[in-house]
Structure 1
Amino acid sequence: MWCLPHPRRAGHTLVLLDTEGLGDVEKGDAKNDVWIFTLAVLLSGTLVYNSLGTIDQRALEQLHYVTELTEHIKVKVAGEGGRQKGEDSAEFVHFFPAFVWAVRDFTLQLELDGREITEDEYLENALKRRQGQPEKLDLPKKYLRQYFPSRKCFVFDRPAPRCDLARLDELPEAALSPDFLEPAQRFCSHIHQHAGTKTLPGGHVVTGTLLGNLAVTYVIAIRSGAVPCMESAVLALAQIENSAAVGEAVAVYEEQLEWRAALPTESVQELLEVHAQCEREALRAFMARAFKDDEQQYQQQLKDKLDSKRTELCHRNEEASSDRCKAVLMELSQELEERVREGSYSVPGGYQRFLADQREMVEKYQRVPWKGIMAAEVLQEFLKSKETVAQAVLQTDQSLTDRQREIEAERARAEAAEREAQLSQEMQAKTEQLLQDQTRSHQEHVQQLTAKMEQDRKQLLAEQERALALKLQEQERLLREGFRGEAARLEQQMQNLRQEMNRPRRSVCVVC
């Protein structure tokens, strides 16, 4: 494996996988070669097949592995009786890589019937099927065209004189043959420009982690004696990737929260807006990574976690506000407490002085900024704790008659009741804001899921349109070559594909 930053696509890595050669007589295990070829097909987005000399019948016979691919790969999980009912080459075309045939040490002239032809025309002529040819000889051509409708060919002259081939790695580029360098540069340019991003069925982009997990999944299946199944592999990968997507999304939420949230906030609404921004970014991260979460199982897991984060955030905000308010009150009430201890209010008219000083302290408290959402509740608790002191001062104030004391006591109870009512209204408003945020959160999940499903639908439609165009090209070739029966079967495949493309997609249903 050789990995390097893609020279033309930002954010992409070009991964080159090199397999051991096929057909090595010293290995003596033909099954090993079939599995290597199969694994290369499953893992690659572009498959480069190397051969020496020319593309003749012998070269095609050596590529007999292509005729066995459907025996070693399944697209869908088999139902009762083994293979998936109705599975044919049409299923494989969606998921097989583009095919590039690189012919090394090529010595022929690119000519056909006296005219110069391109490398691609050379390949297509070599793959041209001819009526009356024995079926065994025709199979590699048939299946190569059937499974790899996207094909490209490059031919390379010998890179250097025979005497220099043994030390080819040591030669500077200037010492290599121009007839080798020119197609080599065109080959590299083609790979850089046209090799598509590796995707899974459904259009999900394969990352480095996914590629590693995909390789492990297929190799385990091969070593166990089973036939690798694309659908099973994708479902297994989806479970791994979707779990990771939930974890990544939660991490994004926490990272966003760290620099967005300054606790305590002045209102519940301000806090919920911060949560909404963080949740939106977390959802984007999840949607970018998750795939085949058809039942929204993992999205629901994420929503549950984010709901818990919101509850935790509200609790932290209340604690921060409460701590700040208590600290402010402790500082502001020191002078009042000291006067009570010194008996400054145990004099005629002391109760009114006490009330005046307490009101002044409350006014100072209310002017202090950044107290947060617990300001009223903490103040109410503080004033409640001072009711006993106030009553004691009231009772010892000799300037007041018994009737005046009753009036003052009733006034204090009324003020306390008014504060309680106001606090109750604030609590009700908080509850309503939290309920509104739950509705907003649900709508955000539905909105992003709808956008993702629409994106997935467009990707799938693009895949199907590409497959349809390639099948149409192959049908035209079959008709030109006289294989009308195969062309008719291909037409049926195309009709099935068109019906699939026109089938209504399911609606979004998110249960939260």
Structure 2
Amino acid sequence: MASEQVHMAAPICLIENRLDGKLVVNRKAAEVLAGVRQPVVVVAIVGLYRTGKSYLMNRLAGKRKGFCLGATVQALTKGIWMWCLPHPCRPDVTLVLLDTEGLSDVEKGSTQNDSWIFALAILLSSTLVYNSMGTIDQHALEKLHYVTELTKNIKAKASSVYCQEEENSAEFVRFFPDFIWAVRDFTLQLEIEGRIVSDDGYLENALKLQQGDSEEIQTRNMPRSCIRNFFPSRKCFTFDRPAGRKKLSRLEELEDDDLEEDFLEPVARFCQHIWEMSRSKTVPGGRVVTGRMLENLMKTYVDAINSGDVPCLENAVLALSEIENSAAVHEAIYFYEELMGQRLMLPTGTVEELLMVHADCAKEATGIFMARAFGNMQVKKFQEDLEHKLKQKKEEFCKRNEQVSFDRCQAVLMDLSRELEDGIPKGIYSVPGGYQLYLGKQNEIEEKYGLVPEKGIQADKALEEFLKSKETVARSILQMDKTLTDKEKEIEAQHAQAEAAQLQQKLLEQEQANLKQMMEDEKRSHAEQVQLLKEKMEEERRLMEEETERMIQHKLKEQEELLKEGFQQKASKMESEIQHLKEEKKDSVSARVLSIVEKVIPPVLSMASQALQYNMLSNVVNPPKSARSRPKSSKK
């Protein structure tokens, strides 16, 4: 299913923004999103209402029509709308476009609703496009006050020993998307102090902090600082007006030939950049998010908002890992059962044969689990659950193998003994010399039985049960045989008991051998699980280190810029964040988990081995009563 793509003919409302301020997830849209098993590149656009956001998103979809455009001053997009499309450059990825309700709509009664829409766009996307009109000036930055409210609307960690400001600047980067500022109807020359600059240079110049300690200056610098701190990856595109005023009202009907070249060229660059450079949505630790995972994240965030809580990113990821890891266990077990059903032919000739098939299938099933599972300690907990369930399934297959073998052998013996059974009520063996005749027929049955192929591991057990069922008849025939003296009858009875005991001993030895094989399989399985867990934790540790290193480099770059701009105090304050990140990189959670794995798993393995060895020893020293006291049949 990983290669399946979702083709939506048109966008659909994903999150409805109701008049009472409640945000409601559209069930149908959520089901569509949950059906996307591929990784997703999520591009969300935010900005003031009536600024052409929907048109840009339609261009990203490669369509003229899709997200609803409007030609009046009334905003048309309400809530958040979604369009899932095959990615134009990456066949293994789905492109998810999110068009959001316009900010600062005069018809709204509260700005808090705008803040939640803005926050959700950030939390759900891997690339955030902020769409504005005119220029990036102080007025435009003031309209982006929603970014300064993120610390009130989003919490990075459930609890932290660090101050809130440090937590926000150091931890939010793990969750936040790449940032693109799209400046519409831009007609100025890209020139600063007589020097031509790029779109990106224009943005970075606009984000420079202003000197001064007054409250007004601090207010001016706040959105600049937030964008610089929260969005290390920033880019800018400037667009001229697409067409004359008279044509704008029917923009979605216009062909490219009807649009201005100064608009088409940056639009093409804008789309190409997002198609080629936008990364897949991830959660901390580098875990790539699928549509199904995004749907769970969305519901967690919306539920938190509607309940009046501040969405906690750490808790959301923890809840997501619980859901995904539980589903990964279920998927792995289902895969194991399917694979065993395909590869295992019952009954097997030996227990070892079954265990070898189980080992291969369990390894592949664990690989399925590991590919989907994530979350440090969460992985360990759910892997233990998987290991327990795989052991249960193995035991079920072993029992089924025994039952199939036993049933097949019973059917064979019943068929082979039909002549013997028919002769007993006819009195064929109730004559002088009948006992030897009876033993001869029984020996013939055993010989033919031994030649039957594919009886499975219960062949001797079924034979032992068959012979046991004939003990009473055999003794009766022996006692009635007048050609034998009492002494000869006693010898025959002892002979029969000796052979029965010999067969019982053979069964007991087979059981010991099977137990030993099971013990070896347990050892192998534990060792394999420990190794896979170590590899998984090492991979997560590596990804976390890489992620933390990117954050450190971002902070160092920002610190350098602050020094260049003359903000020594702010640069010094940032040093504590950098040191905290370096310590976090050195002492990662995953490294501690690896230590736990090494300390906890081996003792568990040792206890399991001791239990199996104890069972084996008990069976050797004290065989079951049935093996010591049952009367046995006789034969020559």
Q: Which bracket does the TM-score occupy, shorter chain normalised?
A: over 0.9
| Counterpart for residue 37 of structure 1 | 118
Counterpart amino acid of 2:525?
A: S
* Alignment length (residue pairs): 511
| Counterpart for residue 464 of structure 2 | 380
Alpha-carbon distance in 2 for matches of 1:280, 1:85: 46
Mapping for residues 289-308 of structure 1, pairs under 5 Å: 289-292=372-375, 294=377, 296-308=380-392
Aligned partner of residue 130 in structure 2, secondary structure: strand
Aligned partner of residue 407 in structure 2, secondary structure: helix
Contact 1:78-1:85 at 8 Å conserved across structures: no
Deviations 1:381-438 (A, max 9, x none): 1011122333333334444343333322222111111101111111111222222222
Contact 2:203-2:236 at 8 Å conserved across structures: yes
Mapping for residues 161-310 of structure 1, pairs under 5 Å: 161-292=244-375, 294=377, 296-310=380-394
User: Does residue 467 of structure 1 match 2:558?
Assistant: no
- When structure 1 is superposed on structure 2, of 82-91 and 409-418 the one drifting more is 82-91
Deviation at 1:99, TM superposition (A): 0.5
From 81, 88, 93, the equivalent of 1:12 is 93
| Counterpart for residue 446 of structure 2 | 362
From 165, 184, 187, the equivalent of 1:107 is 187
| Counterpart for residue 49 of structure 1 | 130
Alpha-carbon distance in 2 for matches of 1:444, 1:399: 65
Contact 1:238-1:290 at 8 Å conserved across structures: yes
User: Does residue 70 of structure 1 match 2:151?
Assistant: yes
Contact 2:174-2:283 at 8 Å conserved across structures: no
Deviation at 1:155, TM superposition (A): 1.5
Contact 1:78-1:84 at 8 Å conserved across structures: no
Counterpart amino acid of 2:179?
A: F
Alpha-carbon distance in 1 for matches of 2:483, 2:558: 110
- When structure 1 is superposed on structure 2, of 42-51 and 495-504 the one drifting more is 495-504
Alpha-carbon distance in 1 for matches of 2:296, 2:249: 38
Identity of aligned residues (%): 57
Give the alignment's TM-score, normalised by structure 2: 0.76
Alpha-carbon distance in 1 for matches of 2:233, 2:102: 23
Contact 2:157-2:315 at 8 Å conserved across structures: yes
Give the alignment's TM-score, normalised by structure 1: 0.93
User: Does residue 129 of structure 1 match 2:209?
Assistant: yes
- When structure 1 is superposed on structure 2, of 8-17 and 84-93 the one drifting more is 84-93
Counterpart amino acid of 1:26?
A: E
Deviation at 1:231, TM superposition (A): 1.4
- When structure 1 is superposed on structure 2, of 52-61 and 429-438 the one drifting more is 429-438
Aligned partner of residue 176 in structure 2, secondary structure: coil
Deviations 1:131-162 (A, max 9, x none): 34822222221221111121011122222232
Deviation at 1:85, TM superposition (A): 9.1
Aligned partner of residue 94 in structure 1, secondary structure: helix
Deviations 1:344-384 (A, max 9, x none): 44445443333233222212212211211111100011011
- When structure 1 is superposed on structure 2, of 308-317 and 450-459 the one drifting more is 308-317
Deviations 1:329-349 (A, max 9, x none): 111111222333444444454
- When structure 1 is superposed on structure 2, of 71-80 and 13-22 the one drifting more is 71-80
Contact 2:376-2:540 at 8 Å conserved across structures: no
Deviation at 1:454, TM superposition (A): 0.9
Alpha-carbon distance in 1 for matches of 2:376, 2:461: 44
Contact 2:376-2:537 at 8 Å conserved across structures: no
Mapping for residues 320-335 of structure 1, pairs under 5 Å: 320-335=404-419
Alpha-carbon distance in 1 for matches of 2:163, 2:324: 27
Q: How has the CA–CA distance of structure 1 residues 468 and 218 changed in structure 2, closer, same or farther, with 3 Å as cutoff?
A: same
Alpha-carbon distance in 2 for matches of 1:10, 1:460: 27
Deviations 1:199-240 (A, max 9, x none): 222332222222122122212222232221111222222333
Aligned partner of residue 159 in structure 1, secondary structure: coil
Aligned partner of residue 17 in structure 1, secondary structure: strand
Aligned partner of residue 149 in structure 2, secondary structure: helix
Deviations 1:432-458 (A, max 9, x none): 222222222222321221111111111
Deviation at 1:75, TM superposition (A): 0.9
- When structure 1 is superposed on structure 2, of 8-17 and 48-57 the one drifting more is 8-17
Alpha-carbon distance in 1 for matches of 2:367, 2:200: 43
| Counterpart for residue 199 of structure 2 | 119
Aligned partner of residue 4 in structure 1, secondary structure: strand
Deviation at 1:47, TM superposition (A): 0.9
Alpha-carbon distance in 1 for matches of 2:470, 2:384: 48
- When structure 1 is superposed on structure 2, of 457-466 and 82-91 the one drifting more is 82-91
Deviations 1:171-198 (A, max 9, x none): 2234333332222222222222221221
Contact 1:242-1:293 at 8 Å conserved across structures: no
Contact 1:159-1:181 at 8 Å conserved across structures: yes
Deviations 1:466-494 (A, max 9, x none): 11222222122112211111122223322
Q: CA RMSD in A?
A: 2.3
Alpha-carbon distance in 2 for matches of 1:51, 1:86: 30
